Structure 1
């Protein structure tokens, strides 16, 4: 039974924002500073542009095939065998993202809050929460993101805005950094990889009330999420400077520790920030988990993805526990993220080029309802 088209443009933007803002918030300034020193802001801006290009490709494809899923229009454009093979690679990639996000969550929790709790317990708890949530339909998936969005965005903006009062402009100069762009490329790609959760938009567009407004939703989603990421880098570099930021494993968390509310109502905001961050991690993990099981169910031809959400849990947990330590995990995150860009940017680009050259378009929702055989 087909899910009715009832997702609004605002809800679509909310899904994008709460999916993109997640575990990457904590080490983001570190990635940016390692790539280009004082050019961290420039590196982040270039990465946001790359991520925006990827989202634009996904949205254009979705508007061209407004009633077809990623699996359906991939089969139509490049054939079933090649399509299913590539999409299985994408599913595997998002399964890896899910497991690594859960591992990073566990590392932060046992380091900052629950220091005597075994790592396995915290990782498994978050994966179980995502597993149970992923058993819902797409409508519930949308409502969850829409509900949690204000709890993620507004506190994060408040903390960044308050921290900027301690920023020093001299720490951010020169803006172009310490080296040529080619040397910054690995860092740019690592930061761009933090936005790859936006690929879930391929799952959302077929269920939009008005697919013609999908580009508007993607624009606002990337603008708000990208703007928040950029402001976090500006605040961290402005407060700590590049050399101090390089010594911090999670600069954004340290930024929250140095921030106070006016009147010293709260002397440190790190506890409040961690609560916001846990919510952001859940929504990101929830999206990648849901996309994994939802797309996999389409590939194997299942009518429902609920069984798969439980079936893949042990595999995700095993992958999450594979890295030996947190440094090993971040090395894997960088490699997996950069290679994943080939799938999340290269594959939609290939499909769009083929669709344009072959002049292929999918039926509109109204046409599909009028002709069930389409």
Structure 2
């Protein structure tokens, strides 16, 4: 049964925002500082630029094929077997991404909050929650994201605004720091934090007005990218680059050292963590949904619900593969950079080939006339 076109432009925007803003919020300043030193905001801006290009290309492709997702129209563009192979790579990549996000969530929770809780319990609880939620149709998927976006954005912006009273502008100078190679690799790592935006390929075929998908994409990137940039600027301005290098989750430390005026709340980290958990859920939920929905389209099933629990053990195994937190972040950085070939270069290749094929058809049609 074909999904109805019920998703509005606003819902598409909120889905993208809540998918992008997720588990990567906590280590984001560390990634940027390691790559660019005091030039961390510039590195972040470059990463946002790379991610924006990828999202623009994916949206452009989706608008050209408004009734299909990338799993199906890729076969029309590059052929059945090559398209299937690339689709398998996309499905496996997002399954790995879901597992790593769940593992990172579990590591943060068991390290910072639930010290006595086994890591396996926190990971399986989050994955199970995503699996149960992913059994719903695309409309419920949109409503969940739509509901949580204000809950995610407002507290984070409050933490950033209040923390700036402790900022030291000197920590942000010089604006360009570090080597070009490190800055480039850092920008790729930060761009990888936006790979959840690939969900736009799933959303466009069920939008009421697919041609407005570009508007939704640009607003989503502006809001989520702007939030990421503000987090990096605020964290570097408060702690400085050398102190950030000693912290695993600088954004969490920023919330811990921030208090509301009048000592209404002396520490905002508890509220921030609860908001972060919500953001992680929406991100994992989206990538999990994207994975099972892509499998459904790949094998031409009528419904995706049966796949929800089927892939759960595989994603859980992927989540538990890293031995410790150090190996986990090395894998996350490596997989994220490699994944850009699927979320940026692959759609770019498809778009170029699709445009060339369209021009060839137009030329052959005009010659026949």
TM range (shorter): over 0.9
**Conserved in 1, the CA contact under 8 Å of 2:35 and 2:178?**
no
Distance 1:360 1:7, change over 3 A: farther
Partner of 2:184: 185
Question: In the aligned structure 2, how far is the partner of 1:60 from the partner of 1:319?
Answer: 32
Question: In the aligned structure 1, how far is the partner of 2:15 from the partner of 2:275?
Answer: 16
Is 1:352 the counterpart of 2:346? The answer is no
Question: In the aligned structure 2, how far is the partner of 1:98 from the partner of 1:170?
Answer: 38
Question: In the aligned structure 2, how far is the partner of 1:330 from the partner of 1:336?
Answer: 10
Question: In the aligned structure 2, how far is the partner of 1:319 from the partner of 1:67?
Answer: 32
* Aligned counterparts, 1:19-168, within 5 A: 19-168=19-168
Q: Deviations over 1:265-308 (max 9, x none)?
A: 00000000000000000000000000000001110111111111
When normalised by structure 2's length, the TM-score is: 0.96
Where 1:178 maps in the other structure, the secondary structure is coil
Aligned-residue CA RMSD (Å): 1.0
**Conserved in 1, the CA contact under 8 Å of 2:105 and 2:280?**
yes
Distance 1:256 1:360, change over 3 A: farther
Where do 5+ consecutive residues of structure 2 fail to align? 361-369
**Conserved in 1, the CA contact under 8 Å of 2:134 and 2:141?**
yes
Question: In the aligned structure 1, how far is the partner of 2:173 from the partner of 2:308?
Answer: 48
Structure 1: which 4+ aligned runs deviate by more than 2 Å? none
Shift, 1:92, TM fit: 0.4
Is 1:330 the counterpart of 2:325? The answer is no
Q: How many residues are paired up?
A: 360
Q: Deviations over 1:134-161 (max 9, x none)?
A: 1111010000000011100111111111
Partner of 2:273: 274
Partner of 2:365: none
When normalised by structure 1's length, the TM-score is: 0.95
Where do 5+ consecutive residues of structure 1 fail to align? 362-374
Shift, 1:360, TM fit: 7.4
Question: In the aligned structure 1, how far is the partner of 2:325 from the partner of 2:90?
Answer: 25
Question: In the aligned structure 2, how far is the partner of 1:118 from the partner of 1:74?
Answer: 42
Question: In the aligned structure 2, how far is the partner of 1:101 from the partner of 1:230?
Answer: 21
